[in-house]
Structure 1
């Protein structure tokens, strides 16, 4: 029998690391929007979460996915930057 105010399900279950979730979300959103800003955030959050979950905490897979998606975000940004530079850069032709 458990004591007052405690639940056996909440005391024995491992919790997912919040930074792992944040890294994964930043990585997923960064693939589509603001990849130059969200990519590094995904890498940082994922790396910190990997360090925190080194002892077997929950969310290690999400942290790894956040790091990988953060790297993919930056690769996408640099590819788009190279394509834009090879096509004449970011010049706008207004009127003539």
Structure 2
């Protein structure tokens, strides 16, 4: 008996859509924790999703905006605390 993976058709649209959703989630999460890492990741994922032609461009643009907001929040708190990290 031979085990094989089921045949599926891959249209290529799932990857950019997943990247758009991931950029949105990571950008949103980055506003609370680890914004120095999650902000740039959200920006890169959103840019790649837009470049690959996602069917969810609004979600990718939101992820891009939230990634930039992550870095702006980090910069604001770094300016206020004179440190590279911040806490509540």
Unaligned runs of 5+ in 1: 1-13, 91-96
Shift of 1:78: 0.6
**Cα separation, 2, equivalents of 1:24 and 1:35:** 13
Q: TM-score, structure 2 length as denominator? A: 0.74
Q: TM-score, structure 1 length as denominator? A: 0.68
Which aligned pairs between 1:13-92 and structure 2 lie closer than 5 A?
Answer: 17-53=17-53, 57-85=54-82
Bigger radius of gyration among the two: 1
> What RMSD, in angstroms, separates the aligned Cα atoms of the two structures?
1.9
| Helix, strand or coil at the partner of 1:58 | coil
Shift of 1:58: 1.4
**Cα separation, 1, equivalents of 2:59 and 2:50:** 9
State the Cα deviation string for residues 43-62 of structure 1 (Å, max 9, x = none): 00000001111xxx411111
Unaligned runs of 5+ in 2: 1-12
**Cα separation, 1, equivalents of 2:50 and 2:70:** 19
